[in-house]
Amino acid sequence: MMKKRSNISSLEYSFRATLANIVVANLLYSIVFILVQEPAAYGLFSDFFRSLSWWMGRVAIMQAVPLTLATGIFHVIIAANRMSALVYPIGHQKLWSQRRVNRILFVVWILTILECIPLIYPFEGNHTDFISPIRTVGVALTASGNLANIIYQTFAMAVGGVTELIAVSFYAFIGIRMSRLKTLPKSTTTATVSAVLVSTGGFMIVVVVLPDILATRLTGKAIWSDEMFYGLFKFANAYNNAIAPWVMLFYYRNIRNLILTKKLVEPKRNFTITMYAEPKRNGSI
C-alpha cells in the first residue's frame, strides 16, 4: 500500500509542480497589473508614472512578454504530461520523474530571466497618454518603439501563440483518445480536465492579442478599437490569472476542505478530578 501511494504521488507531482509554477507566474503578472498598470491606465498618480516610465515601461513589457510566454510553455508541459499519461502509461512515471520535472521548470525560469535582459539593455521604457474609460488621461507604459523592440515583442508573442496552439492540439488528441477508451482512472480524468481549464486562459489571451498584432503589422489597421482591445485584453488576463487558483482549489482536496468547509477543531481540554475524603474526629471516614 505504501509503495502504491508513493507511485501515485510521483505521477501527480509533475502536474502539481507545473500548476504551482503557473500560479507563481500569474501572481507576478497580477502584482504588476494591479500596482502599476491599472493605476497608470486610469490616470492615478499620472505624473509619478510618467517620471518613472524609463524603467516602469521595461517592467510592463517584462510582465506582458516574458511572463506570458513562460505561462504558455507551462501550458505545453502540462498538456504533454497529460498526453503521455494516456499514450505511454507504463513509462509515464519514469518519463516525468521528480528530478526531471524540476530541471525542466528550472530551465523555463532561466529562459524567462534571459528573455528579460534585452529589456534592461538596450531597450528603454517609455509612455504614451490616452483617454481612459472613465475619461481621464491615462498613462500606457511601454518600451521605446524602435525596430528591435517591435521585432522582440512580435517574435515573443508569435512563439507564445505557437505554444498555445500546440497545447490545444495536444488536448484535441487527448479528447479523441479518451473518447475511445471505455474506462479511465478517476485521477487521470480529474488531472486532464484541470489541465484543460488552466490552459484556456492563455488561449484567450492569444485569441485577443495575436490577431490584432498581426493585422496592425501587416495592414497597418487594428482589428479592435482601443476601448474594445483594452476591455477584451483585461478580461482575458483576469480570466487567465484567476483560473489557475480555482483549479488548484478544485484539485487539492486539503486546500478545498480548509477554505470551503472551515472545520474548526477545538483543542481538547484535560480535566483531572481529584477525590479525597476528610476523616472525622471520631476516626471514621
72-111 as b/e, with b when 16 or more CB fall inside 10 Å? Answer: bbbbbbbbbbbbbbbeeeeebeeebeeeebeebbeebeee
Query: What is the structure's pLDDT at 266?
Result: 45
Query: What is the structure's pLDDT at 252?
Result: 67
Phi and psi at residue 141, to the nearest 5°: -90, 125
Integer Cα distance of 72 and 69 in angstroms:
5
Ranges under pLDDT 50 in the chain: 1-11, 263-278, 280-281, 283-285
Integer Cα distance of 84 and 191 in angstroms:
13
Pairs from 106-111 (Cβ < 8 Å, separation ≥ 24) = 108/21, 108/70, 108/73, 108/74, 108/77, 109/21, 109/70, 111/70, 111/73
Residue 51 C-alpha cell reads as: 517620471
133-156 as b/e, with b when 16 or more CB fall inside 10 Å? Answer: eeeeebbbbbbeeeeebeebbbeb
This prediction has a pTM of: 0.76
Query: What is the structure's pLDDT at 76?
Result: 92
Integer Cα distance of 13 and 10 in angstroms:
5
CB 69 within 8 A of CB 160: yes
- The per-residue pLDDT for range 112-158, each reduced to its tens digit, is 988 888 777 767 777 878 777 777 888 888 777 666 667 777 777 77
3-state secondary structure of 74: helix
Query: What is the structure's pLDDT at 105?
Result: 95
